[in-house]
Amino acid sequence: MLDLLYSYKTTVKFLGSVLGPDYEVVLQDLSNKNHSVIAIENGHISGRTIGSPLTCAVFQMLSSKVYEENDFIANYKGVAENGHILRSSSMFIKDSNGNPIGLLCINFDDSRYMELHEKLFSMIHPGNFIKNIAFGLKNIKTPQEEINKKVDWAIDVLGLEEYRKRKPKNLSGGQRQRVALGRAIVRNQKVFLMDEPLSNLDAKLRVSMRNEITKLHRELGATTIYVTHDQVEAMTMADRIVVMKDGVIQQIGSPIKLYNEPVNKFVAGFIGSPQMNFIEVNVKDDVVEFNDGNKIHITKGIRDRLQKSGKMILGIRGEDIKFDSLNMELRKDDILKAIVSNVEVMGNENNIYFTLGGETIIARASKYDLKSIGEEIEFVIDSNRLHFFDIETEESILNYLNESETAI
Protein backbone atom coordinates (compact mmCIF):
# COMPACT_ATOMS: atom_id res chain seq x y z
CA MET A 1 0.00 0.00 0.00
CA LEU A 2 2.88 2.33 0.80
CA ASP A 3 4.34 1.62 -2.63
CA LEU A 4 1.04 2.73 -4.16
CA LEU A 5 1.02 5.88 -2.06
CA TYR A 6 4.66 6.76 -2.69
CA SER A 7 4.21 6.34 -6.43
CA TYR A 8 2.20 9.60 -6.34
CA LYS A 9 5.31 11.59 -5.30
CA THR A 10 6.21 12.04 -8.96
CA THR A 11 2.68 13.28 -9.60
CA VAL A 12 3.12 15.91 -6.86
CA LYS A 13 6.33 17.18 -8.41
CA PHE A 14 4.77 17.27 -11.87
CA LEU A 15 1.63 19.17 -10.76
CA GLY A 16 3.65 21.64 -8.70
CA SER A 17 5.79 22.48 -11.72
CA VAL A 18 2.90 22.73 -14.19
CA LEU A 19 0.51 24.72 -11.98
CA GLY A 20 3.16 27.16 -10.83
CA PRO A 21 4.06 28.87 -7.54
CA ASP A 22 0.51 30.04 -6.75
CA TYR A 23 -0.66 26.46 -6.20
CA GLU A 24 0.44 24.12 -3.44
CA VAL A 25 0.39 20.36 -4.16
CA VAL A 26 0.48 18.03 -1.14
CA LEU A 27 0.57 14.25 -0.74
CA GLN A 28 -0.54 13.02 2.71
CA ASP A 29 -0.22 9.62 4.35
CA LEU A 30 -3.53 9.09 6.17
CA SER A 31 -2.08 6.26 8.27
CA ASN A 32 0.35 8.63 9.99
CA LYS A 33 -1.62 11.49 11.48
CA ASN A 34 1.32 13.18 13.23
CA HIS A 35 3.69 13.15 10.25
CA SER A 36 1.22 13.05 7.40
CA VAL A 37 2.89 15.10 4.64
CA ILE A 38 5.24 12.90 2.59
CA ALA A 39 5.57 15.13 -0.48
CA ILE A 40 4.89 18.84 -1.06
CA GLU A 41 5.52 21.46 -3.74
CA ASN A 42 5.16 25.21 -3.20
CA GLY A 43 4.75 24.80 0.55
CA HIS A 44 4.99 28.57 1.05
CA ILE A 45 1.26 28.70 0.33
CA SER A 46 0.36 27.03 3.66
CA GLY A 47 3.68 27.05 5.52
CA ARG A 48 3.70 23.25 5.78
CA THR A 49 6.70 21.02 5.16
CA ILE A 50 7.51 17.31 4.92
CA GLY A 51 6.33 15.67 8.13
CA SER A 52 3.53 18.18 8.93
CA PRO A 53 0.45 16.56 10.55
CA LEU A 54 -3.05 16.20 9.14
CA THR A 55 -5.10 19.38 9.05
CA CYS A 56 -8.42 19.85 10.84
CA ALA A 57 -10.20 19.90 7.47
CA VAL A 58 -8.82 16.45 6.62
CA PHE A 59 -9.78 15.13 10.06
CA GLN A 60 -13.35 16.28 9.42
CA MET A 61 -13.45 14.55 6.04
CA LEU A 62 -12.22 11.29 7.56
CA SER A 63 -14.64 11.52 10.49
CA SER A 64 -17.61 12.08 8.16
CA LYS A 65 -16.44 9.18 5.95
CA VAL A 66 -17.12 11.28 2.88
CA TYR A 67 -14.63 9.08 1.02
CA GLU A 68 -17.13 6.20 1.03
CA GLU A 69 -19.26 7.97 -1.58
CA ASN A 70 -16.71 10.25 -3.21
CA ASP A 71 -13.30 9.81 -4.79
CA PHE A 72 -12.55 13.51 -4.52
CA ILE A 73 -13.83 16.73 -2.94
CA ALA A 74 -13.58 20.00 -4.87
CA ASN A 75 -13.45 23.61 -3.78
CA TYR A 76 -13.62 23.51 0.02
CA LYS A 77 -11.99 25.82 2.55
CA GLY A 78 -9.50 25.24 5.36
CA VAL A 79 -7.13 27.20 7.59
CA ALA A 80 -3.39 26.75 6.96
CA GLU A 81 -0.65 26.76 9.61
CA ASN A 82 0.29 30.30 8.61
CA GLY A 83 -3.28 31.45 9.25
CA HIS A 84 -4.22 31.86 5.57
CA ILE A 85 -7.57 30.62 4.33
CA LEU A 86 -6.93 27.99 1.68
CA ARG A 87 -9.26 26.86 -1.04
CA SER A 88 -8.61 23.19 -1.74
CA SER A 89 -9.51 20.27 -3.98
CA SER A 90 -8.48 16.78 -2.82
CA MET A 91 -8.45 13.25 -4.26
CA PHE A 92 -8.57 10.14 -2.04
CA ILE A 93 -6.04 7.41 -2.75
CA LYS A 94 -7.67 4.11 -1.79
CA ASP A 95 -6.55 0.52 -1.35
CA SER A 96 -8.19 -2.46 -3.04
CA ASN A 97 -10.88 -2.51 -0.33
CA GLY A 98 -11.82 1.14 -0.87
CA ASN A 99 -10.19 2.37 2.33
CA PRO A 100 -8.36 5.73 2.12
CA ILE A 101 -4.59 5.46 2.51
CA GLY A 102 -3.60 8.84 1.20
CA LEU A 103 -4.80 12.24 0.06
CA LEU A 104 -3.56 14.29 -2.90
CA CYS A 105 -4.43 17.97 -2.39
CA ILE A 106 -4.15 21.09 -4.56
CA ASN A 107 -4.45 24.31 -2.54
CA PHE A 108 -4.26 28.02 -3.18
CA ASP A 109 -4.63 31.10 -1.01
CA ASP A 110 -8.31 32.13 -0.86
CA SER A 111 -7.28 35.77 -0.68
CA ARG A 112 -6.97 35.56 -4.47
CA TYR A 113 -10.76 35.31 -4.55
CA MET A 114 -10.91 38.36 -2.32
CA GLU A 115 -8.51 40.29 -4.55
CA LEU A 116 -10.70 39.55 -7.56
CA HIS A 117 -13.84 40.47 -5.60
CA GLU A 118 -12.31 43.76 -4.45
CA LYS A 119 -11.20 44.57 -7.97
CA LEU A 120 -14.69 44.01 -9.35
CA PHE A 121 -16.25 45.90 -6.45
CA SER A 122 -13.94 48.86 -7.02
CA MET A 123 -15.01 48.98 -10.68
CA ILE A 124 -18.70 48.84 -9.86
CA HIS A 125 -18.50 50.96 -6.66
CA PRO A 126 -15.40 53.12 -7.15
CA GLY A 127 -13.96 55.62 -4.67
CA ASN A 128 -16.13 58.35 -6.22
CA PHE A 129 -18.94 58.29 -8.73
CA ILE A 130 -16.84 59.86 -11.50
CA LYS A 131 -15.13 56.51 -12.08
CA ASN A 132 -18.57 54.93 -12.08
CA ILE A 133 -19.74 57.19 -14.93
CA ALA A 134 -16.50 56.58 -16.84
CA PHE A 135 -16.60 52.80 -16.43
CA GLY A 136 -18.28 52.03 -19.77
CA LEU A 137 -15.94 54.33 -21.69
CA LYS A 138 -12.88 52.68 -20.19
CA ASN A 139 -14.23 49.28 -21.18
CA ILE A 140 -14.25 50.30 -24.86
CA LYS A 141 -10.76 51.82 -24.49
CA THR A 142 -11.79 55.45 -25.02
CA PRO A 143 -8.83 57.88 -24.77
CA GLN A 144 -8.58 59.43 -21.31
CA GLU A 145 -8.91 63.00 -22.63
CA GLU A 146 -12.21 62.14 -24.30
CA ILE A 147 -13.40 60.32 -21.15
CA ASN A 148 -12.72 63.43 -19.06
CA LYS A 149 -14.65 65.66 -21.47
CA LYS A 150 -17.68 63.38 -21.62
CA VAL A 151 -17.76 62.82 -17.85
CA ASP A 152 -17.54 66.58 -17.20
CA TRP A 153 -20.38 67.15 -19.66
CA ALA A 154 -22.58 64.48 -18.01
CA ILE A 155 -21.91 65.89 -14.55
CA ASP A 156 -22.91 69.34 -15.74
CA VAL A 157 -26.07 68.13 -17.52
CA LEU A 158 -27.15 66.06 -14.51
CA GLY A 159 -26.39 68.76 -11.93
CA LEU A 160 -23.85 66.65 -10.02
CA GLU A 161 -20.95 69.14 -9.90
CA GLU A 162 -21.17 69.80 -6.16
CA TYR A 163 -21.07 66.08 -5.40
CA ARG A 164 -17.89 65.27 -7.37
CA LYS A 165 -15.90 64.03 -4.40
CA ARG A 166 -18.66 61.97 -2.84
CA LYS A 167 -18.57 58.20 -2.77
CA PRO A 168 -21.60 56.41 -4.24
CA LYS A 169 -22.68 55.23 -0.78
CA ASN A 170 -22.94 58.88 0.34
CA LEU A 171 -25.27 59.88 -2.49
CA SER A 172 -29.04 60.09 -2.12
CA GLY A 173 -31.36 57.83 -4.10
CA GLY A 174 -32.04 60.55 -6.67
CA GLN A 175 -28.34 61.36 -7.05
CA ARG A 176 -27.54 57.68 -7.60
CA GLN A 177 -30.20 57.53 -10.30
CA ARG A 178 -28.53 60.50 -12.00
CA VAL A 179 -25.14 58.77 -11.81
CA ALA A 180 -26.67 55.71 -13.48
CA LEU A 181 -28.06 57.97 -16.21
CA GLY A 182 -24.64 59.57 -16.56
CA ARG A 183 -23.02 56.20 -17.14
CA ALA A 184 -25.48 55.63 -19.99
CA ILE A 185 -25.48 59.02 -21.72
CA VAL A 186 -21.68 59.41 -22.01
CA ARG A 187 -21.67 56.62 -24.60
CA ASN A 188 -23.85 58.61 -27.04
CA GLN A 189 -26.49 55.92 -27.32
CA LYS A 190 -29.21 56.41 -29.90
CA VAL A 191 -31.80 54.52 -27.85
CA PHE A 192 -32.30 54.33 -24.08
CA LEU A 193 -34.40 51.70 -22.31
CA MET A 194 -35.47 52.67 -18.80
CA ASP A 195 -37.33 50.04 -16.79
CA GLU A 196 -39.17 51.74 -13.91
CA PRO A 197 -36.12 53.88 -12.96
CA LEU A 198 -38.05 55.88 -10.35
CA SER A 199 -39.86 53.04 -8.61
CA ASN A 200 -37.60 53.03 -5.52
CA LEU A 201 -37.66 56.78 -4.93
CA ASP A 202 -39.90 58.71 -2.57
CA ALA A 203 -42.69 60.90 -3.95
CA LYS A 204 -40.70 64.16 -3.87
CA LEU A 205 -37.71 62.63 -5.65
CA ARG A 206 -39.94 61.03 -8.28
CA VAL A 207 -41.31 64.46 -9.21
CA SER A 208 -37.85 66.03 -9.52
CA MET A 209 -36.42 63.05 -11.42
CA ARG A 210 -39.34 63.04 -13.85
CA ASN A 211 -38.34 66.58 -14.73
CA GLU A 212 -34.62 65.66 -14.92
CA ILE A 213 -35.21 62.74 -17.29
CA THR A 214 -37.60 64.74 -19.49
CA LYS A 215 -35.10 67.61 -19.81
CA LEU A 216 -32.31 65.14 -20.54
CA HIS A 217 -34.41 63.49 -23.24
CA ARG A 218 -34.94 66.84 -24.96
CA GLU A 219 -31.24 67.76 -24.76
CA LEU A 220 -29.97 64.42 -26.08
CA GLY A 221 -32.61 63.96 -28.74
CA ALA A 222 -32.34 60.19 -28.35
CA THR A 223 -35.26 57.78 -28.51
CA THR A 224 -36.22 56.70 -24.99
CA ILE A 225 -38.38 53.68 -24.21
CA TYR A 226 -39.65 54.14 -20.67
CA VAL A 227 -41.41 51.27 -18.90
CA THR A 228 -43.70 52.19 -16.00
CA HIS A 229 -46.80 51.15 -14.09
CA ASP A 230 -47.28 54.76 -12.91
CA GLN A 231 -49.80 56.53 -15.13
CA VAL A 232 -48.62 59.94 -13.82
CA GLU A 233 -45.13 59.22 -15.19
CA ALA A 234 -46.64 58.08 -18.48
CA MET A 235 -48.82 61.18 -18.84
CA THR A 236 -46.21 63.75 -17.81
CA MET A 237 -43.17 62.35 -19.63
CA ALA A 238 -44.31 60.64 -22.82
CA ASP A 239 -44.68 61.91 -26.38
CA ARG A 240 -46.53 58.70 -27.18
CA ILE A 241 -47.83 56.05 -24.80
CA VAL A 242 -48.20 52.34 -25.49
CA VAL A 243 -50.70 50.87 -23.02
CA MET A 244 -50.32 47.11 -22.54
CA LYS A 245 -52.34 44.48 -20.69
CA ASP A 246 -51.06 40.94 -20.19
CA GLY A 247 -48.44 41.56 -22.87
CA VAL A 248 -50.99 42.74 -25.46
CA ILE A 249 -50.99 46.32 -26.77
CA GLN A 250 -54.32 48.00 -26.08
CA GLN A 251 -53.75 51.47 -27.53
CA ILE A 252 -50.96 53.71 -28.85
CA GLY A 253 -51.26 57.47 -28.88
CA SER A 254 -50.37 60.80 -27.34
CA PRO A 255 -51.16 61.25 -23.63
CA ILE A 256 -54.04 63.64 -24.32
CA LYS A 257 -55.49 61.33 -26.99
CA LEU A 258 -55.51 58.35 -24.63
CA TYR A 259 -56.99 60.49 -21.86
CA ASN A 260 -59.80 61.92 -23.96
CA GLU A 261 -60.49 58.99 -26.27
CA PRO A 262 -59.65 55.64 -24.63
CA VAL A 263 -60.47 52.66 -26.84
CA ASN A 264 -61.55 50.40 -23.98
CA LYS A 265 -62.36 50.35 -20.29
CA PHE A 266 -58.85 49.21 -19.31
CA VAL A 267 -57.16 52.20 -20.95
CA ALA A 268 -59.81 54.54 -19.55
CA GLY A 269 -59.23 53.23 -16.03
CA PHE A 270 -55.43 53.31 -16.28
CA ILE A 271 -55.07 56.86 -17.57
CA GLY A 272 -56.17 59.56 -15.15
CA SER A 273 -56.10 60.09 -11.38
CA PRO A 274 -58.42 59.38 -9.71
CA GLN A 275 -59.42 56.79 -12.28
CA MET A 276 -62.52 57.14 -14.40
CA ASN A 277 -65.84 56.28 -12.73
CA PHE A 278 -67.73 53.36 -14.31
CA ILE A 279 -71.51 52.86 -13.98
CA GLU A 280 -73.81 50.38 -15.70
CA VAL A 281 -76.61 52.29 -17.46
CA ASN A 282 -79.37 51.88 -20.05
CA VAL A 283 -79.34 54.21 -23.07
CA LYS A 284 -82.49 54.86 -25.13
CA ASP A 285 -82.54 57.65 -27.68
CA ASP A 286 -80.94 60.64 -25.90
CA VAL A 287 -81.64 59.46 -22.34
CA VAL A 288 -79.16 57.71 -20.03
CA GLU A 289 -80.93 55.94 -17.16
CA PHE A 290 -79.07 54.77 -14.04
CA ASN A 291 -80.03 51.71 -12.01
CA ASP A 292 -81.29 53.92 -9.16
CA GLY A 293 -83.76 55.73 -11.44
CA ASN A 294 -81.71 58.89 -12.05
CA LYS A 295 -81.57 60.13 -15.64
CA ILE A 296 -79.51 62.51 -17.75
CA HIS A 297 -79.68 63.56 -21.41
CA ILE A 298 -76.85 63.21 -23.87
CA THR A 299 -76.03 65.66 -26.64
CA LYS A 300 -76.80 64.99 -30.29
CA GLY A 301 -73.07 64.79 -30.99
CA ILE A 302 -72.61 61.96 -28.50
CA ARG A 303 -75.80 60.22 -29.65
CA ASP A 304 -74.64 60.29 -33.29
CA ARG A 305 -71.31 58.74 -32.34
CA LEU A 306 -72.82 56.00 -30.18
CA GLN A 307 -72.88 52.74 -32.12
CA LYS A 308 -75.70 51.08 -30.16
CA SER A 309 -78.45 51.51 -27.55
CA GLY A 310 -79.42 49.47 -24.51
CA LYS A 311 -77.31 48.39 -21.56
CA MET A 312 -73.69 49.59 -21.50
CA ILE A 313 -71.04 50.98 -19.18
CA LEU A 314 -70.90 54.75 -18.75
CA GLY A 315 -67.50 56.30 -18.00
CA ILE A 316 -67.27 59.66 -16.24
CA ARG A 317 -64.06 61.42 -15.23
CA GLY A 318 -64.10 63.11 -11.85
CA GLU A 319 -63.50 66.61 -13.23
CA ASP A 320 -66.53 66.29 -15.53
CA ILE A 321 -68.87 66.26 -12.52
CA LYS A 322 -69.79 69.91 -11.92
CA PHE A 323 -71.00 71.74 -8.81
CA ASP A 324 -70.78 75.39 -9.95
CA SER A 325 -73.85 77.56 -10.58
CA LEU A 326 -73.06 78.20 -14.27
CA ASN A 327 -73.07 74.49 -15.17
CA MET A 328 -76.09 73.90 -12.96
CA GLU A 329 -78.00 76.58 -14.88
CA LEU A 330 -76.89 75.24 -18.29
CA ARG A 331 -78.00 71.69 -17.39
CA LYS A 332 -80.89 72.45 -15.04
CA ASP A 333 -82.97 69.61 -16.50
CA ASP A 334 -80.28 67.07 -15.56
CA ILE A 335 -79.49 68.04 -11.94
CA LEU A 336 -78.70 64.99 -9.80
CA LYS A 337 -78.64 64.60 -6.04
CA ALA A 338 -76.53 62.42 -3.74
CA ILE A 339 -75.26 62.12 -0.16
CA VAL A 340 -71.53 62.72 0.45
CA SER A 341 -69.89 59.61 1.93
CA ASN A 342 -66.32 60.89 2.14
CA VAL A 343 -64.17 63.92 1.31
CA GLU A 344 -60.44 63.99 0.55
CA VAL A 345 -58.96 67.46 0.91
CA MET A 346 -55.97 67.56 -1.46
CA GLY A 347 -55.09 71.24 -0.99
CA ASN A 348 -55.44 72.30 -4.60
CA GLU A 349 -58.70 70.36 -5.01
CA ASN A 350 -61.13 68.12 -3.16
CA ASN A 351 -62.15 64.56 -3.99
CA ILE A 352 -65.82 64.07 -3.11
CA TYR A 353 -67.24 60.55 -2.74
CA PHE A 354 -70.91 59.66 -3.19
CA THR A 355 -73.11 56.94 -4.72
CA LEU A 356 -74.74 57.11 -8.15
CA GLY A 357 -76.41 54.21 -9.94
CA GLY A 358 -75.31 51.85 -7.17
CA GLU A 359 -71.60 52.66 -7.69
CA THR A 360 -69.19 54.73 -5.60
CA ILE A 361 -68.28 57.86 -7.54
CA ILE A 362 -65.29 60.19 -7.05
CA ALA A 363 -65.73 63.79 -8.19
CA ARG A 364 -62.84 66.24 -8.47
CA ALA A 365 -64.04 69.57 -7.17
CA SER A 366 -62.46 72.98 -6.73
CA LYS A 367 -60.73 73.60 -3.42
CA TYR A 368 -63.46 76.13 -2.76
CA ASP A 369 -66.18 73.48 -3.12
CA LEU A 370 -66.03 72.25 0.46
CA LYS A 371 -68.53 69.52 1.21
CA SER A 372 -69.27 67.70 4.46
CA ILE A 373 -69.77 63.98 5.00
CA GLY A 374 -73.52 63.28 5.13
CA GLU A 375 -74.37 66.47 3.23
CA GLU A 376 -76.87 66.26 0.37
CA ILE A 377 -75.31 67.71 -2.77
CA GLU A 378 -76.57 68.70 -6.20
CA PHE A 379 -74.44 68.28 -9.29
CA VAL A 380 -74.54 67.88 -13.05
CA ILE A 381 -72.45 65.84 -15.49
CA ASP A 382 -70.81 67.39 -18.55
CA SER A 383 -72.71 65.47 -21.23
CA ASN A 384 -70.11 66.36 -23.87
CA ARG A 385 -67.45 64.40 -21.97
CA LEU A 386 -69.14 61.02 -21.53
CA HIS A 387 -67.59 57.67 -22.46
CA PHE A 388 -69.47 54.46 -23.25
CA PHE A 389 -68.15 50.87 -23.24
CA ASP A 390 -69.67 47.55 -24.24
CA ILE A 391 -70.63 45.49 -21.17
CA GLU A 392 -69.22 42.22 -22.54
CA THR A 393 -66.13 43.27 -24.53
CA GLU A 394 -65.42 46.49 -22.56
CA GLU A 395 -64.48 48.11 -25.89
CA SER A 396 -65.46 51.72 -26.51
CA ILE A 397 -68.68 52.14 -28.46
CA LEU A 398 -68.02 55.80 -29.23
CA ASN A 399 -66.61 56.33 -32.71
CA TYR A 400 -63.74 58.78 -32.17
CA LEU A 401 -60.56 57.15 -33.54
CA ASN A 402 -58.77 58.75 -36.47
CA GLU A 403 -55.93 57.63 -38.68
CA SER A 404 -53.18 59.34 -36.65
CA GLU A 405 -53.81 57.19 -33.59
CA THR A 406 -53.77 53.45 -33.23
CA ALA A 407 -55.92 50.95 -31.37
CA ILE A 408 -55.00 47.28 -31.30
Structure confidence by residue, pLDDT tens digits, 352-408: 999 999 999 999 999 888 899 999 999 999 999 999 999 999 999 987 645 444 445
Q: Which residues contact 389 (CB under 8 A, 6 or more apart)?
A: 264, 265, 268, 278, 312, 313, 315, 395, 396, 397
Superfamily the domain 2-112 falls into: PAS domain (3.30.450.20)
- Pairwise CA distance, residues 218 & 232, whole Å: 19
* Domain 125-222: CATH class, spelled out: alpha beta
pLDDT for residue 118 is more than 60: no
Burial 205-214 (b: 16+ CB within 10 A, else e): bbeebbebbb
Instruction: Please state the rounded mean pLDDT for residues 343-354.
Output: 93
Which runs of consecutive H residues, i.e. helices, occur in 186-341? 203-220, 231-237, 255-260, 265-270, 300-305, 325-330
pLDDT for residue 122 is more than 90: no
- Hey, which bits of 54-124 come out as E strands? 72-79, 85-94, 100-109
Arithmetic mean of pLDDT over the chain: 86
Q: Tens digits of per-residue pLDDT, 37-50?
A: 999 999 888 888 99
DSSP-assigned letter for residue 180: H
Q: What percent of the chain has pLDDT over 70?
A: 92
Burial 47-82 (b: 16+ CB within 10 A, else e): ebeeebbbbebbeebeeeeebeeeeebeeeebebee
pLDDT band at 165 (very low <50, low <70, confident <90, very high): confident
Q: Tens digits of per-residue pLDDT, 283-315?
A: 998 999 999 999 999 988 888 888 788 999 999
Q: Tens digits of per-residue pLDDT, 216-274?
A: 888 888 899 999 998 889 999 999 999 999 999 999 999 999 999 999 999 999 998 88
Higher pLDDT, residue 74 or 128: 74
272-407: CATH, from 3.30.420.40, 2.30.30.280, 3.40.470.10, 2.40.50.140: 2.40.50.140
Weakest-pLDDT range from 93-107, 178-192, 371-385: 178-192
Most confidently predicted of 2-6, 19-23, 79-83, 239-243: 239-243
Weakest-pLDDT range from 190-194, 330-334, 386-390: 190-194
234, 221 Cβ separation under 8 angstroms: no
Q: Are strands 321-322 and 336-339 parallel, antiparallel or unpaired?
A: unpaired
Q: What percent of the chain has pLDDT over 90?
A: 40
Q: How much is the pLDDT for 251?
A: 96
Q: Are strands 349-356 and 342-345 parallel, antiparallel or unpaired?
A: antiparallel
Residue 274: asked if its preceding bond is cis (omega within 30°), the reply is yes
List the chain domain ranges: 2-112, 125-222, 272-407
